[in-house]
Amino acid sequence: MIHLAIDAMGGDLAPKEIILGSLDALKAYPNLKLTLFGDLELMKPYLVTHERLYTVHAPKFFDMGVKDIGRNTLRNDKDTSMIMAMNFVKEGHADGIVSAGPTQALIFSSFFLIRPMKEMSRVAIAPMIPSVQGKPTILLDAGGNIDAKPEHLVDFAVFSTVVLKEVYGQVNPSVGLINIGTEKGKGREIDVETFNLLSEHKGINFYGNLEPKEILTSDAQILLSDGFTANIVMKTMEGTAKAMGTILKREIKSSLISKLAAVLFMKKQLKNFKKAMSADEVGGALIAGLEHVVVKAHGSSERYAFMNAIRQAKQMVEFDVINKVKKALGSKNE
């Protein structure tokens, strides 16, 4: 039985969509047990009795716009749903945690409560992103850390390789180094050094430099850069997709006949289009480099997206990814 702690109050649509997604996950996976942390009064309307569902009352929760996360957070906010769920994992009662709550709070508290694994000196945020080929693809570090070193990026590449092999069954997934040109020697010092380290690494299938005009179409399934650059890439994809969606909708609505055509004949296709570009399909972001499984679901997660984030966490535990990453990293210099 795999046991996950759920921050039932995190996310724009919590607790409703979080609870519904959790119930969907329990239905789909008979080897899954969930403990939901949240305000029982607010959760009650959506809860049902289920033999593998537990609840723990958490009197407080983080606002999605919370600022000033710092050392005091762990002391002052220890009765929030997120930190209670985190401590539950820390104390060994559950195997991992899923939260759609505020990213910085999740990163910070998991860094100090779940703790980084000693084999990896940095923590990274690794969202799954859509790809035209429909192959699972990881972008990292999307977390905005601005002081990464080449050897950290290599650790992130190893982590992602293990995840794609073990959880997603991908054969020899390749690592593309996000860069301004494809030739060796392109980019900043960190890019040139990372290129060299990745080329020499036996445990990594190195694709080479990857220009982001191929970001969603390339064969590389691990898209790697420092926390600043990968964060910019992620947000640019989000911004471009949003703008294109707006323009498409506006164009379709601009004529009655095309609006009718869209409603009558193309509803399913336009829905599929939206689905293909949505992060909901592929699950949340992994927090890479910790002693336990932590998955950050998107802040605007509806039940389906949250169920997928749970599936992802469950599989990370099921396939013992953390230990396999440790093993891969531990042997990197052999």
Q: Are 109 and 74 in contact (CB under 8 A)?
A: yes
Residue 27 vs 275, nearer CB to a second copy: 275
CB of 298 to a second copy, least distance (A): 12
Residue 38 vs 187, nearer CB to a second copy: 187
Length of the chain: 334
The 3-state DSSP composition of the chain as helix, strand, coil percent (nearest 5) reads 45, 15, 35
Contacts of residue 6, Cβ cutoff 8 Å, sequence gap at least 6: 18, 22, 34, 35, 36, 37, 85, 97, 98, 99, 310
CB of 209 to a second copy, least distance (A): 12
Q: How far is residue 105's CA from residue 188's CA, in Å, rounded to a whole number? A: 31
Residue 235 vs 327, nearer CB to a second copy: 235
Residue 272 vs 323, nearer CB to a second copy: 272
Farthest CA pair distance, the chain: 66
Residues that bind a second copy (CB under 8 A): 130-132, 144, 146, 178, 180-181, 187-188, 211-217, 227-229, 231-233, 235-244, 246-248, 251-252, 254-255, 257-258, 260-262, 264-266, 268-270, 272-273, 276-277
Beta strands in the chain (DSSP E): 2-7, 32-38, 53-57, 96-99, 124-129, 137-140, 174-178, 205-210, 222-224, 285-288, 293-296
CB of 128 to a second copy, least distance (A): 15
Residue 112 vs 228, nearer CB to a second copy: 228
Which of 58, 52, 48, 56 has its CA nearest to residue 2?
A: 52
DSSP code per residue over 162-199: HHHHHTT--SS-EEEEE-S-SSTT-S-HHHHHHHHHHH
Residue 59 vs 181, nearer CB to a second copy: 181
CB of 144 to a second copy, least distance (A): 4
Measured distance between the N- and C-terminal CA atoms of the chain, rounded to whole angstroms: 35
Pairing of strands 205-210, 174-178: parallel
Residue 203 vs 239, nearer CB to a second copy: 239
Residue 28 vs 132, nearer CB to a second copy: 132
Q: If 0-12 CB within 10 Å is exposed, 13-18 middle and 19+ buried, where does residue 135 land?
A: middle
CB of 18 to a second copy, least distance (A): 23
CB of 286 to a second copy, least distance (A): 19
CB of 103 to a second copy, least distance (A): 11
CB of 16 to a second copy, least distance (A): 25
